[in-house]
Amino acid sequence: LFPVEMPALSATMLGQGQLVAMLPTSHALADRAELSASDLAREALISVERDSPHGRTVDDLFRAAGLAYRVLTRVRFAETAVALANEGLGIALVDEFTAMSPPTGLRALPIRHAPKFGVYLHWNREKPRSRQVSGLEAAIRTALAGRTS
């Protein structure tokens, strides 16, 4: 999802995504169409490590709203945050792509004024791009263009 700065890699931004909240369908906020930073600031949150692109996106959301927030658990991977939310341990703040197929019992909700982030394709700059990389790029662009968020 995010740019990787390595001398051997080239990258191109294919589109953008945004942060979403994944919460149990039994949660008091689950019946809403969308959430705000203010709604989330009062909740026990599960987020990816602060020094990661995901973690910085979460910080940006609350900083822009001028709100303090409480992360109950920080994890390394967005998928782990989703698993913990599925166990009822809080609301996971993850990218919309991680949330595309929520487990039974979880609902993904958009966050009003959520920060955007780039979706990147990376490849080895020291080798010619293969047909497979070009095909993957086309498939990702098509998927990004067809999503409803």
The closest of 44, 19, 24, 21 to 106, measured between CA atoms, is: 24
CA distance 46 to 14: 27
CA distance 57 to 19: 7
pTM of the full structure: 0.85
Structure confidence by residue, pLDDT tens digits, 42-95: 999 999 998 888 889 999 999 999 999 999 999 999 999 999 999 999 999 999
75 CB-near residues (< 8 Å, 6+ apart): 46, 47, 48, 49, 81, 84
Q: Are 34 and 112 in contact (CB under 8 A)?
A: yes
Q: Which residue has the higher pLDDT, 119 or 74?
A: 74
Residue 22: the pLDDT is 97
